[in-house]
Amino acid sequence: MSEVIWHDLECGAYVADLPLWRTLAGEARGPVLDVGAGSGRVTLDLVRHGHDVTALDVDGELLDALVQRAAAAGLGTVGTVCADARTFEIPGARFALILVPMQTVQLLDGARGRVQFLRRAREHLAPGGLIALAIADAMEAIDPDHVYPPEADACVLDGVRYASTPLDVREVDGGAVVIERERSIRRADGTATREMNLISLDQLDVAQLELEGEAVGLSPEPSRLVPPTDLYIGSSVVMLRG
């Protein structure tokens, strides 16, 4: 359950990209695959808007929460696939649209991992289908237009306070950016625990990802933009047509 709480706390409030995913799903007119679906932020929104969505994530605990939330909201059964995005296989499935929100493609350990994923995604595209991948530069979080460090993301559940506090964003050797957070839990009896959480994002731009898409037989289309908000940096959405 703890992974669901942290995922919701750190990612669940983000909504700036949802209008774009709704638009793309409406244009696709076919099944959608949400890669890195987590606990359902994008999947459940699209299902509510009448789309047929399959959720893929490497974390089965998050997918279980997604299924439970879909049932509780009266959305019926949502298909899920627990697999690594670089090696997934869904026999017989072909998708009109494959979405990769929240910089998931920057978590695949470099160009080799991205190309592995793009090959698998292309194999699962319906003719003329689209892969849409959100990328961002995490270093923008510490530019003059953003207050850094931001306040902690926090919530209270059953008398227990969970807080995730961004501490640092730094570039490291190998073309990656590390985001460092402190995750703290304070219980009703006053006891508390803290642990550090590190996320490494590959540095990646639109041109590079388009070249990698072309290398596996995909055709780039003009990228889209998700604008920044007061709390979140913006992102570019690379569009690769099958």
Residue 37 reports pLDDT greater than 90: yes
67 and 20, same structural domain?
yes
CB burial class (10 A; 0-12, 13-18, 19+) of residue 127? exposed
Mean pLDDT for 13-17 is 95
Q: What is the pLDDT of residue 137?
A: 87
Mean pLDDT for 60-80 is 97
Give the CATH number for residue 188.
2.20.25
94 and 7, same structural domain?
yes
Band (78; pLDDT cuts 50, 70, 90): very high
Give the integer Cα–Cα distance in Å for 38 and 123.
Answer: 22
Q: What is the pLDDT of residue 144?
A: 53
Residue whose C-alpha is closest to residue 51's, from 68, 73, 34: 34
107 and 19, same structural domain?
yes
119 and 220, same structural domain?
yes
227 and 162, same structural domain?
no
Distances (CA, A) of 92 to 69, 139, 158: 27, 40, 43
Residue 176 reports pLDDT greater than 80: yes
pLDDT tens track for 95-110? 999 999 999 999 999 9
Q: Tally the domains of the chain.
A: 2
Q: What is the pLDDT of residue 100?
A: 98
Residue 14 reports pLDDT greater than 90: yes
Q: What is the pLDDT of residue 1?
A: 61
Percent pLDDT > 90 in the chain is: 87
Q: What is the pLDDT of residue 108?
A: 97
Q: How many CA atoms lie within 13 A of 13 on its CB side?
A: 11
Give the CATH number for residue 210.
3.40.50.150
Residue 149 reports pLDDT greater than 90: no
Residue 197 reports pLDDT greater than 80: yes
Q: Find the domain containing 146 and state its range.
A: 139-201
What number of residues does the chain have? 242
Distances (CA, A) of 158 to 32, 122, 188: 35, 44, 9
Q: What is the pLDDT of residue 145?
A: 57
Average pLDDT, the chain: 94
171 and 65, same structural domain?
no
Residue type, position 6, single letter: W
92 and 7, same structural domain?
yes
Residue 147 reports pLDDT greater than 70: no
Lowest mean pLDDT among 13-27, 55-69, 134-148: 134-148
230 and 112, same structural domain?
yes
Give the integer Cα–Cα distance in Å for 137 and 130.
Answer: 23
Phi-psi region of 236 (alpha: psi -120 to 50; beta: other; left: phi over 0): beta
215 and 194, same structural domain?
no
115 and 56, same structural domain?
yes
175: number of Cβ within 10 Å? 11
Q: How many CA atoms lie within 13 A of 94 on its CB side?
A: 9
Is residue 238 a contact partner of residue 118, using CB atoms and an 8 Å limit?
A: no
151 and 64, same structural domain?
no
110 and 99, same structural domain?
yes
Collapsing DSSP to helix, strand or coil, 205 comes out as: coil
Give the integer Cα–Cα distance in Å for 205 and 137.
Answer: 8
Band (142; pLDDT cuts 50, 70, 90): low
Mean pLDDT for 132-155 is 76
Which has more pLDDT, 137 or 182? 182
Phi-psi region of 190 (alpha: psi -120 to 50; beta: other; left: phi over 0): left
Q: What is the pLDDT of residue 85?
A: 98
Q: What is the pLDDT of residue 140?
A: 75
